[in-house]
A and B are shown apart, each in its own frame.
Chain A
Amino acid sequence: MSVFDGLKFRKVHSPIHNLDPRIKFVYVISIFVVAILFAQIIPLLFLFVLQIPFVLLASVQRQWLRSLRGAAFLAGFIFVVNVGTDYFTSGYLLTAVNVESAVGLTLRFVVLVESFSVFFLTTSPDHLGLALEESRVPYEFAFAFTTAVRFVPVLAEEAQTIMDAQKARGLELEKGGLLKKIRNYVPVLIPLIVSAIRRSLELAEAMESRAWGATKKRTNLYALKLHMGDYALLAITIGILVGAVYVHFYVPIPTIVHLLQHKSL
């Protein structure tokens, strides 16, 4: 569950938390695009370091580290698979270049996790819903999305309680082979699904009794407005994008292997 911890929003005020979610989203997508643009270590490392000031400004280091730790397994997997396939396809040759390209791909994944983690850690579900609405997403969808995000921790807690209740009746989740293990989760999943459905029906009733959908055009208590910080972030984002495209097309990026060889010469 630690990966999810790294995506869980906690309400605090920081310059990053107060940024407009739309601009933050544009920023995350830009980082995503730039990360896809490069497979070399140096620019990816640069992207990785670039986000650290954001993390520090938002003071979410601890949760952020946790999400990275959660992603470590998958990152390791990506590394091993890349080195492995290179090794087998190149006729059992393990070269420094292969290892470097695997490191690059792993780093790309880490950068993606990192930027999404920063986004979700610093953007409240309410803000997210508001951003969706202002981007002309129909309110029903925006609402469904924010509700889903908000109920994840609730469901996680409920799943724990259900597991406890079934363990108290002698259920051993870890017992048996793979198939048996999957079957063991039936007594946990059924109550969880039933209660989620029940909860959603109750939520629907509560919403309707508070006139949900009464008017087509809703007004919002909080309106999103761009501030200085948002424009600054937008400028930074455009700068990164332009810079990245320029570097991608016009600047040859040396590989680490290359650099090392030159030094030794």
Chain B
Amino acid sequence: MIVAENVHFSYPNKVEALKGVSLTIKDGEFVAIMGQNGAGKSTFVKHFNGLLKPTSGKVCVDGVETTKTSVAALARNVGFVFQNPDHQLFSETVEDEIAFALKNFGFKPEVVEERVTWALNLLALTQYRKTSPFLLSGGERKRVALASVLAWDPKALILDEPTIGQDHDQKEILRQFIIQMQTQGKTVVIVTHDVEFVAECNPRVVLMKEGKIVAEGIGKDILTNPDVLTESSIVLPQIAQIFMKLSQLGLPKNIIDIYEAEKIILNAKESKPVK
């Protein structure tokens, strides 16, 4: 789906944000790009829909090089939800907001209508159809922003810091939602430093630092490796921390899933009763 080959990128002020990044994201994959602030995560994902073009190296989306096409054409396949919904909301009603992109892509009016209804329903926003997006709460605005991108049903979805400013329930809804996208075969890329959220979702983890990829692999390996994580200023998920401390009891260290943890602890208790 998305192939980045040795991507370098410098901003006009000569700051080199990416120093040779290569990554292949397959169709239907779920990838979390992590790293501290300024690691180049957002800069990197902005290459996926052509908002930024590499200074050298290349990025191909569905086999098309991003330098050879427009952002609008790429956006049709790659939906990008920005971190701050206030950077995109402008319409008088939620309905118009969601219809905006659909009209840009030239969908027929009846299709627009149908898609808007579908997206509102999907993100539990139907009751706000005629409300001004500016009157909604922060979490709701974020959902409107998400709905406005999902409406055109892109093949891949990029979420920049989707969990920031969200309470636990909203994060859970988001997680369910990502799982649902996965079952539909969509590619999902999230940019985040919410390590607990990543631990719960268990995607493929890509760790970035100072414009380079320093580690990648399944969450279970990366998120339980204190050496790699400390280097990127990321704290281990709490479950991994506990198992790290309990390792002297002979328990495995690479645990991030709460159900797996429960099973292991119960087993350990049966075989060696705690006094």
Contact = CB atoms under 8 A, between A and B. Distances in A.
A158 B105 contact: no
Interface of A is mostly: helix
B87 A168 contact: no
A195 interface: yes
Indicate the member of B49, B84, B90, B148 with the most A CB atoms within 10 Å. B90
B190 to A, nearest CB: 15
B86 A194 contact: yes
Given A164-B51, A164-B82, A187-B100, A169 B87 contact: no
A170 interface: yes
A248 interface: no
Nearest to B100: A169
Interface in B37-83: 46, 49, 51, 70-72, 75-76, 79-80, 82
A169 B101 contact: yes
A194 B133 CA distance: 12
A168 B51 contact: yes
Nearest to A172: B72
B89 interface: yes
Interface in A157-213: 158, 161-162, 164-172, 186-187, 190-191, 194-195, 198
Contacts of B86: 191, 194-195, 198
Indicate the member of A162, A168, A186, A190 with the most B CB atoms within 10 Å. A168
B157 to A, nearest CB: 11
Indicate the member of A158, A165, A187 with the most B CB atoms within 10 Å. A165
A153 B70 CA distance: 27
A187 B99 CA distance: 13
Interface in B142-171: 148-149, 152
Nearest to B51: A164
B90 A187 contact: yes
B105 A168 contact: no
Given A164-B82, A194-B134, A170 B76 contact: yes
Contacts of A167: 51, 71-72, 75
Given A191-B87, A191-B90, A168 B104 contact: no
Contacts of A165: 80, 82, 87-88
A69 to B, nearest CB: 14
Contacts of A195: 86-87
B90 A171 contact: no
Indicate the member of B76, B89, B105 with the most A CB atoms within 10 Å. B89
A225 to B, nearest CB: 35
Contacts of B89: 191, 194
A168 B90 contact: no
Interface string B98-126: 00110011000000000000000000000
Nearest to B50: A167
Indicate the member of A158, A161, A198 with the most B CB atoms within 10 Å. A161
Contacts of A191: 86-90
Contacts of B101: 169-170
A169 B75 CA distance: 7
Given A186-B90, A194-B86, A195-B87, A168 B80 contact: yes
Contacts of A161: 82, 84, 87
A204 to B, nearest CB: 18
A166 B86 CA distance: 11
Query: What 7 A-B pairs are tightest by C-beta distance, nearest first?
Result: A170-B104, A190-B90, A169-B101, A168-B80, A165-B88, A165-B82, A165-B87
9 contacts: A161-B84, A164-B51, A164-B82, A165-B82, A166-B88, A170-B101, A171-B100, A172-B70, A172-B104
Given A158-B87, A161-B82, A170-B76, 13 more contacts: A161-B84, A161-B87, A167-B71, A168-B51, A168-B82, A169-B100, A169-B101, A170-B101, A172-B72, A187-B90, A191-B86, A191-B88, A194-B86
